[in-house]
Structure 1
Amino acid sequence: MAIEQTRSFSRAAELRFVTQSALSRRVKSLEDWVGVELVDRATYPVELTSAGRRFCEQSKESVGALTEVRSALRQEARMPGRSIQITAGHTLSLTFLPKWLKQFHQRSGDFNARVVAANVHDAVIALAESNCDLMIGYHHPLVPMQLDEDKFASLTLGQEAFIPVSAPNGRGAPMFALPGSSASPLPYLAYTATTFMGRVVDVILNSVDTAYHFRACYETDMAMLLMKMVVEGYGVAWLPFSAVSEEIDAGRLVRAGGDEWSAQLEIRSYRAIANTNPTMQDLWKSLEDSVNRGA
């Protein structure tokens, strides 16, 4: 259905929040299951075959029926009273969201919230597929979200620094200080390559003029796990300031480099423009008012 809409494998992959190669594999698996070719790969722009058009029309009816059932079931499963469902990044769900929810309870009155922590990829899918009313995540202008601005609105809730940190040595200096050297490369605790924060680190490293020397020794997609590894002295990692502020105040972590090794991240909220949940609409109006007042 996405290929029919866009007539492009690459654009369809963006709409479905998967890589183009993953989408191609899924289409091939579907064709193997149906037993005929559904996409004419010899045309440009891409077109469906006659069998593909028939299959797509029937698929729309099936997806529409399933979507209606899903909507009814979700409505039954919603928390009672005024309620919203929020999907937030793992780090923000621990550092930002509790205080933010308390603030807006005070401004908007009581409402119930169901919060799911997820990585950026899963959070975007949850919003795009109406699995949540509100998504809260980080934003960087060079690592944009693939969300259609005609369908989704966003507001900036705040900013925070994204900084390199290390455990301190006996003198209070970083045990592993950037940029390292060829003779003594820094043990680097990295995000997996496809994560949002991993791509932000790439942006930082591509922007500095100084040569750096790393040896990758650990990789994960969770910032809080990297923070624990840094505290234990395994190496240097980039982390949102909110995730490490207590550790820095306690002297268990120190910055491993100056401002040139850091970036500013926006904290943004996202919603579907078509969302009709009255609690969501009230909260969004309150958010807009706060942003306009500079609160």
Structure 2
Amino acid sequence: MLNNIETKWLYDFIALEEHRSFTLAAEKRNISQSSFSRRIRALETAIGIELFDRNATPLKLTEQGRLFHAHIRNTLDDLAYQLNKLHGGSHYKNKITLAAAHSLSVFILPELLKTVPEPQEKIFYVESIDVDEAVLNLKEGKSDFIFSFFNEELMSEPFMHTKILESHLYPLSACDKTGKPVFNPRAETVPLLNYTDTSYMGRQVNRYLSAINSERFSITFVSSMSDLLKRMTLQGYGIAWLPDYSIREELKNRELAVLDMPDAVMRMGVYLYRMNAKLNVASEKFWRYMKSLNH
């Protein structure tokens, strides 16, 4: 079967997946649309599977096409890397694409990447995007990793995971001049700065609120970004649940105080996820290093 596949067809496939348009992909590959279409069909015939759902608008990968893309993107990346090494080159770097939860990309990722060995071999491409979109990108091979919180869908095949750290979500208030909380969580009305319902932290907070008499908590501000909620909390707009890794300095300086609320502290596992498809050399090394951190 491999003897029947031309490398240029694989690059055509990558271009079509990226643009989801035969016209745009053909222009990128600098060939006519009819020739481009024939080459995609020839690839599908050679491997015996339909890669694209041509009835979908816009064009989309089939389930088998997603798996194929996850393998081929990294295979071509590795091929370029190895050929460059054979020619004595040192400028080529493997690209590692990583989708990260916003707060983790701001507060945890910089310190984490600082310890990664052989930084000269790799370039990190980090995006902060919606988790559902990140999962789809992982399935289609657009991302190598997701750096995020516990996600039940990603805990079993075809995904792999390793736990990076355990964090906590604390209820907090700004402090007055004496270092005491500005807001009393037992007051008749407590302004709440909350997360969006679809965010991981939002689901944690809403689960807690639904389990108690939450009528006194009045939502006054909503955002998916914990850093923005922290700034609003510091300005005295209300209380908010914030992750421990983002508030160390503020607690130390007595700008923020943890509120006395029974059972209101929530544990959050932080994980690195990937597909079980083979990644490029640098990504596999990064994965092994991340797994070694907690072993």
Structure 1 length as normaliser, TM-score? 0.67
Quote the Cα distance in structure 2 between the aligned partners of 1:169 and 1:153: 46
2:187 aligned partner: 180
Q: 1:212 to 1:275 in 2, by over 3 A?
A: farther
Quote the Cα distance in structure 2 between the aligned partners of 1:137 and 1:128: 16
8 Å CA contact 2:195–2:222 kept in 1: the answer is yes
Residues 94-133 of structure 1 mapped to structure 2, 5 A cutoff: 94-105=106-117, 110-133=121-144
2:206 aligned partner: 202
What letter corresponds to residue 117 of structure 1 in structure 2? Answer: S
Task: In structure 2, list runs of 5 or more residues that go unmatched.
Answer: 1-51, 82-90
Instruction: State the percentage of identical aligned residues.
Output: 24
What letter corresponds to residue 168 of structure 1 in structure 2? Answer: C
Q: Secondary structure at the match of 1:112?
A: strand
Q: 1:73 to 1:263 in 2, by over 3 A?
A: closer
8 Å CA contact 2:95–2:122 kept in 1: the answer is yes
Q: CA deviation at 1:155?
A: 0.5
Q: 1:259 to 1:278 in 2, by over 3 A?
A: farther
Q: CA deviation at 1:195?
A: 1.4
Q: Secondary structure at the match of 1:105?
A: coil
For each residue in 1:195-253, what CA deviation from the matched residue of structure 2 results, as whole angstroms up to 9, or x when unmatched?
Answer: 11110112333455x66621111111111111111011000011111112122222221
Q: Secondary structure at the match of 2:292?
A: helix
Q: 1:212 to 1:153 in 2, by over 3 A?
A: same
8 Å CA contact 1:89–1:118 kept in 2: the answer is yes
Q: CA RMSD in A?
A: 3.4
Task: In structure 1, list runs of 5 or more residues that go unmatched.
Answer: 1-55
Q: 1:273 to 1:242 in 2, by over 3 A?
A: same
Quote the Cα distance in structure 2 between the aligned partners of 1:96 and 1:62: 34
1:91 aligned partner: 103
Aligned length: 228
Q: 1:286 aligns with which of 285, 289, 294?
A: 289
Structure 2 length as normaliser, TM-score? 0.67
Q: 1:59 to 1:224 in 2, by over 3 A?
A: same
8 Å CA contact 1:86–1:136 kept in 2: the answer is yes
2:274 aligned partner: 271
Q: 1:235 aligns with which of 221, 232, 238?
A: 238
Q: Secondary structure at the match of 1:230?
A: helix
Quote the Cα distance in structure 2 between the aligned partners of 1:69 and 1:291: 31
Max radius of gyration: which structure?
2
1:255 aligned partner: 258
What letter corresponds to residue 156 of structure 1 in structure 2? Answer: K
